Structure formats: structure tokens, C-alpha cells
């Protein structure tokens, strides 16, 4: 039995909210009733669009923090199972990437 979940909600304004919990159904009900996070309470209703199960809640929390830092496009790659898009969005997009460097800082 899973001990934790990482989940993504789509809010009424089209934004995504990423969270983690031990009790997914209960937490979704909290969000729907406006008792969840400040962001979701402002943009009701919300709908569950993605979740992952974990053996430990700390793993779910770690995954939540990882996904929270992703771009919208990268989250959508995960949500829709578009692993090609997920891979493309995961590529480095800073200036050094486009100049052909394999690293962020030039060597001395």
C-alpha cells in the first residue's frame, strides 16, 4: 500500500498546483472545499490531472519539490505522458547550451 502521493491539480484558471500527501482522496476533497492551499482556494474548482504513488511520504515530498520547479510545458509532458516533450523540455536552455558548451561556466 502506498505511503505517499505526489499530485498535480489543474485549477479553474488553467494553472497547475503540485502537492504531496499521505491521503490523496482526502486531500483532494480539502482542495475542492477551499481548505487546501491558498492558491487552489482562489481558483476553484480544481481537478486532479496526475499523481504518482510512493512507498514513503518523504519520497513523495521530494518529488513534489522537483516537479514544482519545472516549467508548465515540462509538467504537461508528465501529465499527458508525452515523454518526448518531457525530454525536450528537460534540455538545458541557457545561453551556453546554444553556443555548444557542455558546461555552464567556461573553463579558466
Query: Are 10 and 35 in the same domain?
Result: yes
Average pLDDT over the chain, rounded to whole? Answer: 86
pLDDT of 40 reads 95
Query: Are 65 and 78 in the same domain?
Result: no
pLDDT of 91 reads 72
Mark out the alpha helices in the chain (DSSP H runs): 24-32, 38-42, 57-68, 72-79, 83-90, 95-98
pLDDT of 93 reads 61
pLDDT of 82 reads 82
Query: Are 35 and 54 in the same domain?
Result: yes
> How many folded domains does the chain comprise?
2
How do beta strands 47-54 and 4-10 pair?
Answer: antiparallel
Query: Are 45 and 76 in the same domain?
Result: no
The boundaries of the domain holding residue 85 are: 71-108
pLDDT tens-place string over residues 5-39: 999 999 999 999 999 999 999 999 999 999 989 99
Query: Are 103 and 60 in the same domain?
Result: no
**pLDDT band for position 86 (50/70/90)?**
low
Amino acid at each position: 500500500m502506498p505511503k505517499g502521493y505526489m499530485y498535480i491539480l489543474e485549477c479553474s484558471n488553467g494553472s497547475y498546483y503540485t502537492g504531496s500527501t499521505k491521503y490523496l482522496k482526502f486531500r483532494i476533497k480539502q482542495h475542492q472545499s477551499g481548505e487546501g492551499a491558498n492558491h487552489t482556494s482562489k481558483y476553484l474548482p480544481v481537478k486532479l490531472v496526475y499523481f504518482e504513488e510512493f512507498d514513503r511520504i518523504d519520497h513523495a515530498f521530494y518529488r513534489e519539490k522537483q516537479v514544482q520547479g519545472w516549467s508548465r510545458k515540462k509538467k504537461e509532458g508528465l501529465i499527458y505522458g508525452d515523454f518526448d516533450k518531457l525530454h525536450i523540455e528537460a534540455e538545458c536552455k541557457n545561453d551556453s547550451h546554444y553556443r555548444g558548451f557542455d558546461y555552464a561556466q567556461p573553463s579558466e
